[in-house]
Structure 1
């Protein structure tokens, strides 16, 4: 009796099936890289391939456009760059890295380097790049809400003009603050006879950070100009 095995595929179809199975494993995830606008972005493969023959850097921007940044051969001169990265991007042949300076939020996207070796095998690495507006000097304002029976109720407001996705944290000398706060506004109760007490606002986003501070004891002093001091 003839036994029937699994399905028989023609050689070409079998190759397609194997490629599909390999593709189902998924590509390695992109490395996350955050950078501040106006700074320099350096994309460096962790382990440069020794036997590489050609390399191609490409980008898919968050705005939707895709473009080739450059194609370089191992034994060739580095080509001059055209398009939006002309004059800003430099390819380092020793490390196979790509350096772009300065960058802007419009440069956010997925950057991919594809290597080809002498046997025709391709290897790729990718970077998910996010470019953030830099954190400028935070602006810190103190306002007295109420004073009564030797206590001063104070409100601190920390703002960062022009920045997005800002996270806040506060710290104060002594035990004034208590549990850490993560909002741009902080409310405090300060004793009227308190020693100098410095509160710091720390503002950050994935690309940069900044800090500002003020003496809340001085802010509660009746002699404070307008009772609403501001300290950059």
Structure 2
């Protein structure tokens, strides 16, 4: 075996042993924030401590080495620490401020005991963009016959590795009783009815470091235009009928009062006097035999009688008197006679 192949095998065995013995912990952080890497096990006795980093780009280098020589701690670094990285000897932790995506990688702390054993602790640091409020819109909405098909789209600007989740409720604010919907895509297809109550859909956008959400009421794009027109027309018809009934009742009441008032103020039957002028003096009777008259000169004076009433007879000497007759209801006769002397 060539020396080059042997060297590659030794290097691979070292890296594999480090990978197997590494107690890796996931650390997610938002850009422009700080992260503090604190090892869980605080060893009281150690001989050497070394912090290394292997970035996601593949580049790796040693950050700091602490050597315990005769109870004196020596800090050796291959280069001055970047201003954003701070090592804390008290708890052997490493602090990185104002992280960016290029800081993502595996940070490893190797602790060598006096006996020569090595304990390794790994921190996998992932830097994410901050999730801002998603933009939730209705891509399409089609309402027909009381049903509405809607396609919702939820998008986050300037963010990577975003996961989406959906829920449905009865108000703008999320609640525990909201129904969680399956699927983790940025788009959601749904179907609602006109009478649906849970029409508030919540979109939750998140990554390992941050999250945010927004809400939409799908009844806004699904306005059901035909049904709304019919409902408005129905309410207008009901209102018109009610108003018509009210006005009709008021008119009937006014008409009844007017008729009653006219009936109470109507005068009694007025007497009727009949005058008739003829050329000759004669006595005449009508076909029913209930009227008679006598003529003097050119004037005839008649008396109208009720049916069944006998006429009064007058002697010839009574000529020269004027008789005024009053028409009364059937079987009742009220007469008033007055004498006047003709010239």
TM-score (norm 1): 0.73
Q: Secondary structure at the match of 1:72?
A: strand
Deviation at 1:206, TM superposition (A): 2.1
Deviation at 1:64, TM superposition (A): 1.6
Q: Secondary structure at the match of 2:219?
A: helix
Q: Secondary structure at the match of 1:59?
A: strand
Look up the match of 1:59.
53
Write the distance in 2 (CA, Å) between the matches of 1:111 and 1:178.
37
Write the distance in 1 (CA, Å) between the matches of 2:221 and 2:75.
60
- Structure 1 or 2: more strand by fraction: 1
Q: Mean Cα displacement is larger for which, 52-61 or 162-171?
A: 52-61
> CA separation of 1:68/1:168 partners in 2, compared to 1, >3 Å: closer, same or farther?
same
Look up the match of 2:154.
158
Instruction: Structure 1: give runs of 5+ residues left out of the alignment.
Output: 1-18, 224-232
Compare CA radii of gyration and give the structure with the larger one. 2
Look up the match of 2:203.
201
> CA separation of 1:170/1:36 partners in 2, compared to 1, >3 Å: closer, same or farther?
same
Instruction: Structure 2: give runs of 5+ residues left out of the alignment.
Output: 1-12, 171-176, 226-343
Look up the match of 1:211.
213
TM-score (norm 2): 0.51
Write the distance in 1 (CA, Å) between the matches of 2:146 and 2:198.
16
What is the aligned-residue RMSD (CA, Å)? 3.3
Look up the match of 1:181.
183
Q: Flag the structure with more relative contact order, 1 or 2, with Cα contacts below 8 A and sequence separation at least 6.
A: 1
Q: Secondary structure at the match of 1:164?
A: coil
| Match among 22, 25, 32 for residue 28 of structure 1 | 22
Look up the match of 1:5.
none
1:45-104, Cα deviation, whole Å (9 max, x unpaired): 111111134422110111121112122356548789956x61211222222111111211
After TM superposition, list the pairs within 5 Å mapping 1:1-232 onto structure 2.
26-72=20-66, 75-76=72-73, 82=79, 86-173=82-169, 179-195=181-197, 197-221=199-223
Look up the match of 1:12.
none
Write the distance in 1 (CA, Å) between the matches of 2:57 and 2:126.
12
> CA separation of 1:181/1:26 partners in 2, compared to 1, >3 Å: closer, same or farther?
closer
> CA separation of 1:219/1:105 partners in 2, compared to 1, >3 Å: closer, same or farther?
same
> CA separation of 1:48/1:176 partners in 2, compared to 1, >3 Å: closer, same or farther?
closer
Q: Secondary structure at the match of 1:217?
A: coil
Q: Secondary structure at the match of 2:220?
A: helix
How many residues align? The count is 203
1:5-32, Cα deviation, whole Å (9 max, x unpaired): xxxxxxxxxxxxxx99xx5994235223
Deviation at 1:140, TM superposition (A): 0.8
Q: Secondary structure at the match of 1:30?
A: strand
> CA separation of 1:113/1:190 partners in 2, compared to 1, >3 Å: closer, same or farther?
same
> CA separation of 1:79/1:109 partners in 2, compared to 1, >3 Å: closer, same or farther?
same
Write the distance in 2 (CA, Å) between the matches of 1:25 and 1:166.
28
CA contact (8 A) 1:37 1:104 kept: yes
